Amino acid sequence: MSLTKADFHRELFLEHLEEASFLYSSRLAWRDDRELSWVDTLDLESRLDAHIEALIDGEEEAKALCLSRIKEADVGELYALTSYLCKLQDGAALTGLWRTLIDILDYPPEEEEDEADQDAIDKIVSVAEALRVYYPMAWRQRAAALLESEHQKLFPIVAPAIAQAGGITRQGAENLLSTSGPELLPRAIRIVADNGDAGHAALLKSYLQHENNQVAEAAGIALLRLGQRQTVTSVNGKTAALAIPIALAGVKKQAAQLQQLVRDGQVSSTTLIALGLAGDLTSVNLLLRELGDKPFAPDAALALELMLGAALYQETFVPEQFAKEDLFEHELEAFREGKSPQHPEGREFGVTVDQLCQDPAQWREWLVQNESRFDPSLRYRGGQPYSAQAVWSGLCHRRTPPQVRQWLMDELGIQFGLRHKLNINDPVLRQSKQLRDLSGWVREQSVAPTWA
């Protein structure tokens, strides 16, 4: 039986949604891949936008299909649907979206001991990100009332968009924090800081002692952004959890505490990267010890690069990791003996990637050759004495990982007073424009904070 015109259009619109969902998921995976640049997602984002624009061109026929898909939509489809409705500026349809989400999202958990469903968390984040980027700015202040309503499930969804307009009241902030489970609490704390109201800092202080290190770290960064440096640097007994905030605070005495953590064997990704952000040259030998075959060697290399700007990148072969269930019967015996499957050509499976050198000998050689460039009394970032321009260079650099870029953006606010809310989850084109707009401000920052 041949398709009718309506059937054909329906299949076409569904295909646009499915492709948009795939591109959204691919973008998330690419963004978190250390081997890729933050600008590499531009093509994926352009293609995703093209599918959304195609739905807009479908007018009422496409909108009817999109609204009917909300209940069954996966994470990526929800991002595309929300972006589509925002671009249409269809308030009634967005209200319908929210009402449907209230009915289908299993979050927050009904009982304190219940665990939130990860799919629900992912859906919340995808819709919240779409609203943050595309929700009409003129509507955001009005939407703030939702944070003081009975619709708890909407709090983490609408809050990021409201925060960008500075519309979260104290009661709204309290509601968001109190209803966010451990999975979303770090995100909720950042949203409160994004709102830019220093009066909300009092709501965050207790989270510095939270048992979840990610929550404590988020609280530390948020309080620094809201001008509460003394509150963060005076906390006792949470140095490991607050390693990144301590580094961003830029207090030399605190950086020495980070070094002691590593000497005491409390080595982690964040403690090492915090040493790199702190920029104290006396940390170099500690970082060199964590290179080679150590479990956190990539983080130690990144920390050295953040401090020294050596650009010691090299091609490295990374063997593919196998599990028993991945193998054929004839491969299992060799696998049990510690031998990986071989390619038909006799070589090991894996990929060659361009990554920071993890060989301590090469780093030491570079340090000997470049020793005259550095003054041990100064703080360094990217091989330059610490300054807004040095932080900015790291933020713009293609190879800086996304999470580090967000910390650098936070640092520009903490150390130099920048109030702009650039987000590393923004589409590449938006980030690039914002970076261009801010470049003049960076050039005007001639005084670096005291390093003492």
Model confidence over 264-274: pLDDT tens digits? 999 999 999 99
Query: Do the strands 350-356 and 384-385 form a parallel or antiparallel pair, or are they unpaired?
Result: unpaired
- Is the same domain home to 111 and 140? yes
- Is the same domain home to 166 and 222? yes
Q: Is residue 346 part of a domain?
A: no
CA dihedral sign, ordered 27, 28, 29, 33 = positive
In the block, residue with structure tokens 């109201």? 197
Q: And the tokens for 246?
A: 């301590």
- Is the same domain home to 213 and 247? no
CA distance 192 to 223: 10
Last residue of a domain, one of 192, 227, 262: 227
Query: What amino acid is encoded at 103 in this protein?
Result: D
Give residues with Cβ within 8 angstroms of 103, minimum separation 6: 71
- Is the same domain home to 13 and 132? yes
> Over 70: is that where the pLDDT of 319 sits?
no
Output 36 or 115, whichever has higher pLDDT. 36
> Over 90: is that where the pLDDT of 163 sits?
yes
Q: How much is the pLDDT for 381?
A: 97
- Is the same domain home to 146 and 283? no
Helices then strands, counting H and E runs in the chain, come out as: 22, 4
Q: What's the domain range around 169?
A: 5-26+36-227
At how many degrees (to 10) do helices 75-88 and 91-104 cross?
A: 160
How many distinct structural domains can be found in the chain? Answer: 2
Mean pLDDT of 230-236: 88
CA distance 98 to 159: 13
- Is the same domain home to 247 and 129? no
Q: Is residue 329 part of a domain?
A: no
Q: Is residue 268 part of a domain?
A: yes
Is residue 132 within 8 A of residue 161, CB to CB? The reply is yes
Q: Is residue 347 part of a domain?
A: no
Q: Is residue 343 part of a domain?
A: no
> Over 90: is that where the pLDDT of 105 sits?
no
Q: And the tokens for 41?
A: 């997602």
Model confidence over 35-86: pLDDT tens digits? 788 999 999 999 999 999 999 999 999 999 999 999 999 999 999 999 999 9
Cis previous bond, 109, omega within 30: no
- Is the same domain home to 150 and 187? yes
- Is the same domain home to 10 and 71? yes
Last residue of a domain, one of 227, 257, 284: 227
- Is the same domain home to 215 and 260? no
Rounded to whole angstroms, what are the CA distances from 313 to 81, 118, 446? 40, 36, 31
> Over 80: is that where the pLDDT of 338 sits?
no
Model confidence over 374-423: pLDDT tens digits? 999 999 999 999 999 999 999 999 999 999 999 999 999 999 999 877 88
Task: Provide the whole-model pTM.
Answer: 0.89
Q: How much is the pLDDT for 317?
A: 57
- Is the same domain home to 276 and 419? yes
- Is the same domain home to 305 and 366? yes
Q: Is residue 340 part of a domain?
A: no
Q: How much is the pLDDT for 4?
A: 87
- Is the same domain home to 250 and 218? no
Q: Is residue 366 part of a domain?
A: yes
Whole-number average pLDDT of the chain = 90
Last residue of a domain, one of 159, 192, 227: 227
Give burial (CB, 10 Å; 0-12/13-18/19+) of 300.
buried
Q: Is residue 370 part of a domain?
A: yes
Model confidence over 259-316: pLDDT tens digits? 999 999 999 999 999 999 999 999 999 999 999 989 999 999 999 999 999 999 876 6
